[in-house]
Structure 1
Amino acid sequence: MFGCIWQYVYTTFLRYWLKWLIRQATGTCELQRICSGYKPGASMTTRAEYSLKSSKSQVLRGSLDTNTENLEQCVDQIMRAKSIQPQKNPQFKGTLHTCLLQITGYSSLYTSVEDLRKVVFSSENPDHEAMLLKLWDHLMPGAKLESRITKQWGDIGFQGDDPKTDFRGMGLLGLINLVFFSENYTAEARQVLSHANHPEFGYSYAIVGINLTEMAYSLLRSGALKPHFYNTVQGRPELKHFHQLYCYLVYEFDKFWVSEKPESIMQFNQYREQFHEVVKTLLRSPDVSLKLDSNSN
């Protein structure tokens, strides 16, 4: 209770006067101090984002919703609003521009991911079907599908004879993630599939993969992935960066599952939540960078 009261008092009254006093003493505004005092990445961008969001200036708050095409103009407006002279602060404009690219890019990325999630897999769509067959070819190069609807799909972890029913929760996003992993990390994907098909400690590869798409999506939606993307992408994060994060989750979950050796697949939800907590703990570090490293296995 006391913490909530203090937070309200600080953000409503004390923070403004503290910023004013420091500006009088240093001759620099909070954004200038952030852009010059912290290393590029999450340490800088998260503070810049909070500063902009907490500002009483509509110009500064509005910058968080600016389109990419208007970012340079937006930075100029911020500099005028804060009386920042380019000649005396030559690095500030470029640094703030990068921060805003990352901040607004994260919002755009979420929109793109959400759009894919809402696309329903359709067996009538040749592009959807082509992706599904590509997944099979990458994972099972030595086996030919007997038909489009077959029990063979169970060999790569689908529940029924027709995989389309398994994509209902995450839509086309689930399939795109599975294909991206198998196409860009083929050796790793086949290794994970071999673990998933273990007679004692195995799990349903495709179903778990789609479940991990949901995990990546929920982390993105909550904002938990901001430090990761701010540290790993020097600009606007794109869909490929989200897919790469997904690949990390699949590969690391497999390592986690194998090391834990669950007694039964019925314990999946328990171990999934444990792994989820591990990832969320990693994401609380300002230096976090979740990249797939197959050499560490």
Structure 2
Amino acid sequence: MIIIHLWNYIYRHVFRFWLKWILRQITGKCELQRICDGSKKSAERTLKIEYSLESSKSKVLQSAVHASEDEVKKYVALIMKEKKINIQKDTGFALKLQMCLLQITGYKKLYLDVEDLRKCPYNSNNKEHEKQLIELWNLLMPHEKLKARITKQWCDIGFQGDDPKTDFRGMGMLGLVNLLYFSKHYPHEARQILTRSNHPTLGYSYAIVGINLTEMAYSLLKNGALKTHFYNLVPCVAQMDHFHQFYCYLVYEFDKFWFEEEPESIMYFNQYREKFHEIVKRRLQGYDVVLAL
């Protein structure tokens, strides 16, 4: 482990510097230009640009990955000045770099927006929160009226007790918003999966598993594993809808996975959840990956 860290340090601070210098003398172009020329418009290009900026000794380049969307054009100009790039000789570079920076800063902004929603606790005194919860019931159970706000009926859609608010503690409003988004945009699939979740031997708690998958989507976003997916899917700035769509993919794929695996009991849920998590992480490792319904 010490040898690996030592090699990484030598590579980033010594070998990489001289390699970049030699290539610039040969090609007449800096590393950022070579990436834009040699990588196609996809996650591959943006990830390489991001690594190059973060690894740079220049404060201007390092700061670019933390810019806001409004500051992107300014940082493109600063980078071109810092690296002495002639816009007349490389006419396409500025636009390519700008698109990469929009994706990089957009991902960071999306994470902050998702985190804010996760940190927002469900409040039964908040009319909007209550409205969304009731809407979830109506979308999933259109032919059955909810008899009361606090009722055992909530167990019919996979909550643990007679008041769902306790189940949102870990993921806050993010858990509810995800469940609601799937039910709104894919009502047929949501009701179909709810029906399947009530299977006599392979059944699982629909809402609880849904909130669990919210945590999975959130953790993949937080650790950067979703960069390949979003950089391929969204040409500039990722929005909250894109995160919700990825969640919908997880719900659909997990249900399929669960019934293909045929677990002996719901007691093995954590084991199978981790197995599914590993499958998703492997899928996200390819440069060309897009995971969507």
TM-score range, shorter chain: over 0.9
- Distance in 1 (CA, whole Å) between partners of 2:92 and 2:39 is 13
Look up the match of 1:132: 133
- Residues of 2 paired with 1:38 and 1:129: CA distance? 48
TM-score, with length taken from structure 1: 0.97
Provide, for residues 150-171 of structure 1, a one-character-per-residue CA deviation record: whole Å limited to 9, x for no partner.
1111110001011111000000
Give the CA deviation at 1:101: 0.5
- In structure 2, the residue matched to 1:169 is 170
Measure how far apart 1:4 and its partner are.
Answer: 2.7
- 1:295 is matched with none
Please give the alpha-carbon distance, in whole angstroms, between the structure 1 residues aligned to 2:169 and 2:62: 37
Q: What is the alpha-carbon distance in structure 2 between the residues aligned to residue 98 and residue 38 of structure 1?
A: 13
Counting matched residue pairs gives 292
Partner of 2:286: 285
Give the drift of 1:287. Answer: 1.1
Partner of 1:16: 17
Match of 1:188 in 2: 189
The structural deviation recorded for 1:191 is: 1.3
Once the two structures are superposed, the pairs formed by residues 19-30 of structure 1 within 5 Å of their partners are 19-30=20-31
Matches of 2:70 and 2:102, distance apart in 1: 10
Partner of 1:71: 72
SS of the residue corresponding to residue 236 of structure 2 reads coil
Q: Does 1:239 pair with 2:240?
A: yes
Residue 65 of structure 1: SS of its match in structure 2? coil
1:109-148 → structure 2 map (5 Å cutoff) = 109-148=110-149
Measured in 2, the distance between the counterparts of 1:6 and 1:29 equals 24
- 1:50 aligns to what SS in structure 2? helix
Match of 2:88, SS?
A: coil
TM-score between the two structures when normalised by the length of structure 2: 0.98
Deviation at 1:5, TM superposition (A): 2.3
2:216 equivalent to 1:215: yes
Aligned to 2:157: 156
**Distance between the aligned counterparts of 2:268 and 2:62, measured in 1?**
46
Rounded to whole Å, the distance in 1 between the matches of 2:72 and 2:266 is 49
Task: Write the distance in 2 (CA, Å) between the matches of 1:88 and 1:191.
Answer: 57
Q: Distance in 2 between matches of 1:110 and 1:235?
A: 15
Following the alignment from structure 1 to structure 2, what is the Cα–Cα distance between the partners of residues 52 and 105? 16
Gap runs ≥5 in structure 1? 293-297
AA paired with 1:130?
A: K
Where does residue 229 of structure 1 map in the other structure? 230
Which one-letter code corresponds to 2:6 in the other structure?
I
Rounded Cα–Cα distance in structure 1 between residues aligned with 2:267 and 2:73: 53
Cα deviation per residue 1:99-140 (whole Å; 9 max; x = unaligned)? 001111111111101100111101111100110011111111
What is the CA-CA distance between 1:190 and the residue it aligns to? 1.0
- Distance (whole Å) between structure 2 residues aligned to residue 228 and residue 27 of structure 1: 33
Which segments of 5 or more consecutive residues in structure 2 lack a partner in the other structure?
Answer: none
Segments ≥4 residues shifted beyond 3 Å: none
Q: Give the CA deviation at 1:86.
A: 1.2
Q: Which amino acid aligns with 1:148?
A: R
2:49 matches 1:57? no
For residue 3 of structure 1, report the CA deviation from its aligned partner. Answer: 2.9
* Structure-1 residue corresponding to 2:91: 90
Name the SS for the 1:199 alignment partner: coil
- The residue matched to 1:56 in structure 2 has which SS? coil
**Inter-partner Cα distance in structure 2 for 1:128 and 1:3:** 49
State the one-letter code of the partner of 2:196. Answer: H
Identity across matched positions, percent: 60
User: What secondary structure is seen at the aligned counterpart in 2 of 1:85?
Assistant: coil
Note if 1:257 corresponds to 2:258.
yes
| Equivalent-residue separation in structure 2 for 1:189 and 1:34 (angstroms) | 42
Query: 2:273 — aligned with what?
Result: 272
CA displacement at 1:288 relative to structure 2: 1.1
